Structure 1
């Protein structure tokens, strides 16, 4: 029986493949059919039939001979068992013929068909992998080819010399995984690493600022090129010019950009091209030309001459992008190196954006690398050649091994090798981000195969990566720490799935992986990580429980700032893990940091990076007890860039490893829920993901939103999964339900609303704005005329030049047509980093596609590689082609598409618009019983009315009268809804309500400062009576804001100065305050006529003033929320004097009795006499209390 597997349809799972070697193939083959009934034994004589090879060819004969002998076989010319290599015109079924091969194994014949010797060589590498643990192969047919023709890596030996044998070893090891390019960055400011006999002073010690005298001879360079070619790898040498050339300037005494320097460089390149005569490519750099590199010749003269000169030596030329600006005929290939790197139309491009492994951590970045497409493309083409991952050495590392180990070299290279061979991916690096999906079977299978190769072919290499797909965490929402990382929050006292703090709920979500980024940054942009919108001055907590089957000693990989190998960052301060003051406790015992070897205080790349990263220091020894072990991590952060660390990585790495530090610890279970069933953990994660995404979206019919009916479908799927958690299922059932919920979430994401397509009868107009860019100005795309650059302007509802409609274009794209001139559209024809223009519309014109971003309700707008970007003042707010077609993080690339009107609309359209407006008005409201908020029951009732109206509108054809009646009913219901928003409760004789009053400015709460003292606000402290205020109604209807005992009240002062003081309460009967709700809440202004409460800023220590004129609704110091913190019983149900009832001293804060020790044996009941447990939150509503012979009542809110 034959079983056929296609890599593009799914992973070749271990369960699906019977033969061990097939399970471990890396990269996975494109097509494979297995015949387990057939076996090919290697330990016998075999006749080898291969055509002769030149010394510069991949050495197929030598490779196969070594393979046969290594597997106890022998070569015999007359043996009945055959191993045949045939070069054929084409390999049937292969999409890329140049390196394609077909490998067929039967009982007595092993046949390799390939179009080139390189393809045949890749077949031999598959044979090595198949026989890694056996010398008996299964019957099979593999048809295989690479998706991209360039699959490479770069070593920056210009900055840090690497031993020649190390380079050879990497070539030999990586050929096993069909890597075919070694980019050799030979020159830098720090040193000229290629021997020159024309100008030997380039290799003199005085030319080097690092590793003096260490360079590669001409003979070594020739040897390495041939060594690589014999293993299917092409060397691309790089001589960087005219930037990064300080070593040249030191040696020669002048810049390359001088007449003398130009002629010298031509002579140097003639020599270098001869040295690398057996390779077709030469890289000339051209990036980052800075002031020290400048001379008397402009680089616009220098670079074209150097390109022409290198071409004249018979070489094709590669250049960095960004770098010199070339026309399509001026360069042979570009290499995109930063987030702004872009293709030159018609010129093949290598993708190295987001592929700098010196910026990678050990665990999270490899997830994005493996799942990322290459240059946003599913497979290669003439324009998109492939990928090179780069290890830059700006910072000195102590050894070759340190470069390999700290850059996670082999795991990342294997991830790249598989992706570049298979093609595909889930999206581009900066879009998909670094979060590990626990249901990502592709990565789980890759990790399994990676760890197999770590233990076999790579078993002597420095690899610290261990299994992480089974490591689960719960991470809290971030608590605001107001710049104090030492602030203690509730998780340090008790681990829960959610916390209540300062009147807010902080949830937890599951995360998977040994390395977690809470916030990830790449240059000026962030990469999607755990928090969608991380904020500075925050504190997070991560926790899990780890089950150990026995008491044992293990080691711990742990770090909180992965130090990039191109950064001059300072080591952490003594006694701390990092500058954020991160901490970790294992079984409630804190694990302290090591002694840092670097103690310097001035940044320098010339100071060796020592034990800052966990890969460079002894791992701490930890005692795990049998059973569950608690791990709690505290993760504060201040600013995201500080003087000591340029790019603060809000992250952590934490995983237990064997005592030798080499492998994961067998049979450990990581579970925040203490769950022994891994399938249930995966289902919990899937539920978290779905709930998380639901909490981030907006309901409505406008573009970027989701219809309520779709939301209800997903919520039903979530509820089904949640119900399953309470049942006892086998592991596989939970996994299936997790897969089903994940699929439902995927379908939901695709159901995002798009703009309505206009037709001859109805024209739907929209504005295209970037609210995250430029505030509220210059961010709405406006038509300026045909062939004139589009420009961002301040939104104006009446401006037809800002209105656009969408109509069908080629494929699934849409043309975007102006309302100002309906024959004009936004044309995607502009060059990269230049202004987009409007041009006359014509049928067949290339259209635009909308890509949802990770920010709520926003789209990226692209047409292939062309992407709309709203620039800033430096480009006169013009709309540029910038972003590469897949940038979803830059604020100028995130567009909100908002309705601007309908031509030809009817009453049904008006009703639809009103429904959406009401959703918009209520979507941000939070359920709470506190003032300024709406109760959940009121919100749900109004939301149901909106849902019913929308469903009826979608499913029915209403006449004008019915639509108008529905519209009037909605408006009436909305008025009633807004009037139901909670107002502050006024204290009376038998009920006292104590509030914290918090201003929007820095979230400070009003605090009593002492008798007749100036009023100020401060950081709220739980259970501190200075922050508690009650409201008492006065004779004129205003409210006195006073302390619990009514000893003091808020007293207004003259406008501006003096500050507000707390007056003594003698006989205040009038002149209090009014609480005016701002919009739909939750903010209030607090006024009396023209008097208005205001909290000043930190510069005046948050002093309170009478400022605002009584009508200021926008200043952060004039906007207040009220949070009910305590209730106090002041009446009894028995004829006992109030003053003699001890229950008067009982306090309820956040629905809990805060001083129960004063009342031993106290009991609580509902009005119907049902007992209420007092060891948890009290139920809302009236409760009765009994303590000895005393009784009391209160209403819990």
Structure 2
């Protein structure tokens, strides 16, 4: 059989599929599992899912007896990959690591649900090998603009895990809110909804059991209004600012010229790194207005002292010091791609790419030199945009247009300025999360085939646990999509004209931004009509 022709799995399998004719494994009311080499966490989750969805009890088998499911260590299997071999008497799973076993059990869960629903509990005999295309298969959830509690985050993590996404990028701070308890700086969360440190640990434990790594993001030196509300002395002019309750890019940011800024940030990070076991730590770096830096005596003095020739290099000087401090804690640093506007960036930073509004790419030279990159292209993987703009097919078909030699993976991003409830959050994520998962996992993809399997997930097997957008809404097209897109863009461009917004773009970059938006959304004729509406 051809790759992917068998089974309703999402994401579609990459490896070989060998059907065993006239062989079936009968799924009984109880199953046993033998495990000598792998973590018990993934097995417990698999057992809970089967019990909850199918009423099947899974128990541990004695190592000397024959189980229903046998987990076998095999160093020849690709990292995070697996092999499932189904005979009439037993299911054997081979993998080299815990992540591979977790992925295998996730696939087996779906196969069992399908067999119970559609094959009279008979699981077809088959041998499957499978492995991921990308190491990093992620979803960003912004809880700063609007706060979402522990139960919501766990629900999203479970859906991620069912789709073999393995990284939750948790955006915990921004202009609109600081969402993580600090015992060192308690004023950060005064009068704000936030997670206690125990709740953070609880979510991390829940995610770990499902093979999902949590990477925190503490945004700096921009997007820090919530921070500065509590500690205004960290800005250039000690400005008192109000907590923001609307979308925007705001001018008051951290001062990289004050040594006291670094002292404070280092103390904060010393506390934060203890909460997150991930080796990676995201420090933002996007949309940093340089307006105040240009007249700040502290910033100008530092630039003169260290021979820093421009303000992009000043931002990197800040980033470099924060990075060096985090490296001392054994962390690897991730930054948004604006950090690469400096020509001085060293190779110890991973870039997360979302967009460039310049005629020529400032990122490409770095990517050509092998700098690590995660792609979160805003026109394909920003899930806060309507389905008419970031269509399901764009997310599914996405391949980075910038050629990079060291791509770690891709990540969907769910910003929440316009997402006020858990129901809307889930609607914007699902079923995009299924398309994202297959884009990140599967090498040879076919959108029409994906839609068939997606409908099975949604309507037949009922495997989607979130408040999913209906199939017709998620696949909106034609005139309805065009009109929805126009209305959204009119609202967005009106917002960009307000005095609160300072994206740090010159006039030519603003024109590039407009052009990129229209060319990624409309055909040439519709784009021209829309520009006339704006004038």
Q: What's the TM-score once normalised by structure 2's chain length?
A: 0.76
Point out the structure with max Rg over C-alpha: 1
1:450 matches 2:419: no
Q: What's the counterpart of residue 323 of structure 2? A: 307
Aligned residue number for residue 3 of structure 2: 6
Q: CA deviation at 1:66?
A: 3.3
Structure-2 residue corresponding to 1:465: 470
Secondary structure of the residue that 1:261 maps to in structure 2?
Answer: helix
Deviation at 1:292, TM superposition (A): 6.2
The 8 Å contact of residues 46 and 74 in structure 1, kept in 2 or not, is answered as: yes
Native 8 Å contact 2:30 2:56 kept in 1: no
Structure (1 or 2) with the greater strand fraction: 1
State yes or no: 1:61 paired with 2:83: no
Instruction: Identify the residue that residue 335 of structure 1 maps to in structure 2.
Output: 352
The residue number in structure 2 matching 1:410 is 430
> What secondary structure sits across from 1:446 in the alignment?
helix
- Residue 124 of structure 1: SS of its match in structure 2? helix
* Structure 2 counterparts to residues 994-1143 of structure 1, below 5 A: none
* 1:399 correspondence with 2:416: no
- Matching of residue 356 in structure 1 with residue 382 in structure 2: yes
Is the aligned partner of 1:148 residue 2:126?
no
SS at match of 1:563: helix
Q: Offset at 1:263?
A: 0.8
Task: Rate the CA distance shift 1:159–1:460 in 2: closer, same or farther, 3 A.
Answer: same
The yes-or-no answer on 1:107 pairing with 2:97 is no
Pick from 325, 337, 348 the counterpart of residue 321 of structure 1: 337
Cα 1:605/1:329, change in 2 over 3 Å: closer
**Which residue number corresponds to residue 101 of structure 2?**
120
Deviations 1:43-94 (A, max 9, x none): 15544211265xxx57232134335644535535476553111122122xxx
What residue is the counterpart of 1:176 in the other structure? 162
CA apart distance, 1:288: 1.6
Alignment of 1:819-838 (within 5 A): none
* 1:369 aligns with one of 395, 400, 404: 395
Residue 37 of structure 1 corresponds to which residue in structure 2?
22
Q: Which whole-Å CA distance do the structure 2 matches of 1:365 and 1:338 have between them? A: 17
Q: Which residue of 1 aligns with 2:504?
A: none
Task: After TM superposition, give the deviation of residue 565 of structure 1 in Å.
Answer: 12
What CA distance in whole angstroms lies between the structure 2 residues aligned with 1:560 and 1:347? 35
Distance 1:246 1:413 in 2: 30
- Taking the aligned partners of 2:208 and 2:40, their CA distance within structure 1 comes to 6
TM-score by length of 1: 0.35
Match of 1:288 in 2: 287
Task: Describe the shift of the 1:413–1:561 C-alpha distance in structure 2 as closer, same or farther (beyond 3 A).
Answer: same
Contact kept in structure 2, 1:81 and 1:108, CA below 8 Å: no
SS of the counterpart of 2:272? helix
Alignment-derived partner of residue 692 in structure 1: none
> For 1:232-631, what aligned pairs fall within 5 Å after superposition?
232-254=211-233, 255=235, 256-257=254-255, 258-276=258-276, 278-291=277-290, 294=293, 296-297=298-299, 298-324=314-340, 325=342, 329-339=346-356, 342-343=363-364, 344=366, 345-353=369-377, 354=379, 355-362=381-388, 365-374=391-400, 383-395=406-418, 397-405=419-427, 407=428, 409-424=429-444, 442-455=446-459, 456-458=461-463, 461-467=466-472, 514-516=476-478, 559=484, 561=486, 563=488, 567=492
Instruction: Output the aligned Cα RMSD.
Output: 3.5
Relative to structure 1, is the Cα distance of residues 117 and 338 closer, same or farther in structure 2, using a 3 angstrom cutoff?
Answer: same
What are structure 1's unaligned runs of at least 5 residues? Answer: 92-96, 206-212, 426-441, 470-512, 521-557, 571-601, 607-640, 653-853, 856-1197
Residues 286, 319 of structure 1: 8 Å contact kept = yes
Aligned-pair CA distance for 1:332:
3.3
Structure having greater relative contact order (Cα 8 Å, sep ≥ 6): 2
* Alpha-carbon shift at residue 203 of structure 1 (Å): 1.0
Counting helix residues as a fraction of each chain, which structure ranks higher? 2
Structure 1 residues 166 and 127: alpha-carbon distance in aligned structure 2, compared to 1, 3 A threshold: same
CA distance in 2 between partners of 1:223 and 1:26 (Å)? 28
Q: Distance in 1 between matches of 2:40 and 2:345?
A: 32
In 2, Cα distance between equivalents of 1:275 and 1:565: 42
Give 1:370 shift: 1.1
CA contact (8 A) 2:389 2:485 kept: no
**C-alpha deviation, 1:515, in angstroms:** 1.5
Cα distance in 2 between the residues matched to 1:215 and 1:349: 30
Does the 8 Å CA contact 2:84/2:94 hold for their aligned counterparts?
A: yes
1 CA distance for matches of 2:13 and 2:468? 25
1:82 aligns with 2:68: yes
1:27 aligns to 2:51 (yes or no): no
Structure 2 residue aligned with 1:224, among 182, 186, 203? 203
Q: Is the 8 A contact 1:114 1:120 kept in 2?
A: yes
Ranges in structure 2 where 5+ consecutive residues have no aligned partner: 236-253, 300-313, 502-510, 525-535
Query: Cα distance 1:74–1:368, how it changes in 2: closer, same or farther (>3 A)?
Result: closer
